[in-house]
Amino acid sequence: MAKILITDGMSADAVKSLKAAGLQVDEQHYDEPELIKVIPKYDCVVVRSATKITEPVLEAATSLKLVVRGGVGLDNIKVDYAEKLGISVRNTPRASSASVAELALSFIFAIARRIPDATVSMKDGKWEKKVFSKGFEVQNKTLGILGIGRIGMELAVKASSLGLETILAHDKYVDDTPFRWIEMVSKDELLEESDIISLHIPAAGKVPEISHEEFEKMKDGVILINCARGGVVDEDALLVALNSGKVYAAGIDVWVGEPNPRRELVEHPSVYCTPHIGAATGEAQARIGAEVASIILREFGKA
């Protein structure tokens, strides 16, 4: 009987389907030292973003055949090292695309009309109509999408129906899209021409994708949305851009120091923020769970 460890939670229906197939399923989060102790008895481990599958964990995983990431990014898993040890690594890239794209849109509208600020003001018993009467319309603005994969494409399609005048896209790995109304441009052109820039690119390497040089190329008063990964934006450079007014506001769901984000950013009056909840909808979680279960059942011959 294959033994499955789920460390960061999974939908109840997905867990039920694994157990019904005769697999042993344990649901428990472990920090690295404890995970190293228990991992030898498992054939498969399922993680989200909290658990880190490091080289020491993999070295201790003497029975492990499969690591599944319930989500898109694999930056919390030492993929190359796992594959060197003969351990397969899989993820669920399609399941959460709509939810993440909708969060990016939510940030855009929240910033445009300052909805969170107005809500806090109202709850404090104030009626600051003049303060919040300086919003702007999203329609007829230019949206730049850096990374036009599944999530970026979802955002483009949703945004196009809302009247955004121009949708620009740049991707290192994509030259064209099925939609003629998405203009594929250079990275510099996207930075220079966009009123709103939304990031949907993989985890950064040693050099952030957006730093001081990139901010200098952007329009004054640009809006920046990051629902991709912490680290794709240089946080020092972002603070400078926010304080100078180069960036009118930023919507941030992902952070370098998760789960301890940089307080200067969280508390900045022009930052609208959430605790990495891009895929945290009931619908996305159900799809992620179903896809994870399908991967595991195929691997262990129960599908």
Question: Which of the residues 102, 258, 264, 299 is marked catalytic?
Answer: 258
CB 184 within 8 A of CB 175: yes
Residues 6+ apart with CB under 8 A from 29: 7, 8, 50, 51
Give me the residue label for tokens 């319309």.
137
| 114 counts as catalytic | no
Q: What distance in Å separates the CA atoms of residue 25 and residue 96, rounded to the nearest whole number?
A: 23
CA Rg, the chain, in Å? 21
**Could you write out the DSSP letters of every residue in 1-46?**
--EEEESS---HHHHHHHHHTT-EEEE----HHHHHHHGGG-SEEE
Q: What distance in Å separates the CA atoms of residue 54 and residue 52, rounded to the nearest whole number?
A: 6
Question: Which of the residues 48, 229, 262, 287 is marked catalytic?
Answer: 229
| 263 counts as catalytic | no
> Taking Cα atoms as reference points, which of 99, 109, 110, 107 lies closest to residue 70?
99
**Could you write out the DSSP letters of every residue in 229-289?**
-TTSB-HHHHHHHHHHTSEEEEEE---TTTTS--HHHHT-TTEEE-SS-TT-SHHHHHHHH
- 300-303 contacts, C-beta under 8 A, 24 or more apart: 300/2, 300/21, 300/23, 300/43, 300/44, 302/21, 302/22, 302/23
Question: Which of the residues 90, 268, 276, 287 is marked catalytic?
Answer: 276
DSSP 201: -
For the chain, report the end-to-end CA distance as a whole number of angstroms: 15
| 229 counts as catalytic | yes
Q: Which residues are catalytic?
A: 229, 258, 276
